[in-house]
Amino acid sequence: METSKRPGGRSARVRDAVRRATLAELSEHGMRGLTVENVAERSGVHKTTVYRRWGSVEGLIADALEMAQEEPWPIPDTGTIEEDLRGVARLVQSGFDDPELGPVSSAFVAAAMQSPEAARALHDFFEARHEQSAQVVRRAVDRGELPVTVDVREVIRVAVAPIYYRLFVAHEPVTERDADRAADAALAAARAGVL
């Protein structure tokens, strides 16, 4: 139980413990099973402290998303845009297939539909992801594989959108082949000059 009032390092450790507990609870029980009580118990931080600092389940999720944003995202660098873009799409697809990461990522998407605070946090998260992933497109432009006029972030959106669409809108399964096809479609569009 967290009863100390010391700020600074102690405060950062409390925050870290709560964010980790939020991710672990999300991974095990999903958005529907996430409660302030469970996060407090798992983190060893007093419930009233969690309520005071995070306010609600949505506040916990928004904060955990900020942490996720800082996680390394292993952007591929294979030397060709075909493989790099497929790599980005496969990272997304395999992430949702991962038994630990998948439920957490799905919970983030679900939470953002229910809470404006979580939606803002998810928006920032994806802005960072798009910016980072767009690096593979910028390198392709530098190598002369794509026109300099290409909208690098839009290529990323189009390359991953069908994966999210299947998962969260049409509720269809997503295979590695679906990920490759989404990446190939984005690349064909970029080459044709429509992105």
The residue ranges that bind a second copy (CB under 8 A) are: 31-32, 106, 109-110, 112-114, 119-120, 122-123, 126-127, 130, 154, 157-158, 160-162, 164-166, 168-172, 181-182, 184-189, 191-192, 194-195
Give the contacts of 189 (CB within 8 A, at least 6 positions apart). Answer: 155, 158, 195
**Would you say 43 or 108 has its CB closer to a second copy?**
108
- Between 60 and 187, whose beta carbon lies closer to a second copy? 187
Tell me which long-range contacts 171-175 makes (C-beta under 8 A, separation of at least 24). Answer: 174/93, 174/96, 175/93
Minimum distance, C-beta of residue 8 to a second copy, in the bound complex (Å): 33
Shortest CB 113 distance to a second copy, Å = 4
If phi > 0 it is left, if psi is from -120 to 50 it is alpha, else beta; for residue 161 that is alpha
CB 3 → a second copy: shortest distance, Å?
Answer: 35
User: Can you tell me the distance from the alpha carbon of 12 to that of 59, in angstroms, rounded to the nearest whole number?
Assistant: 16
- Report, in Å, the least distance between residue 194 CB and a second copy: 4
Closer Cβ to a second copy, 1 or 188, answer by number: 188
Identify which of 76, 188, 181 has the alpha carbon closest to the alpha carbon of residue 136.
Answer: 76
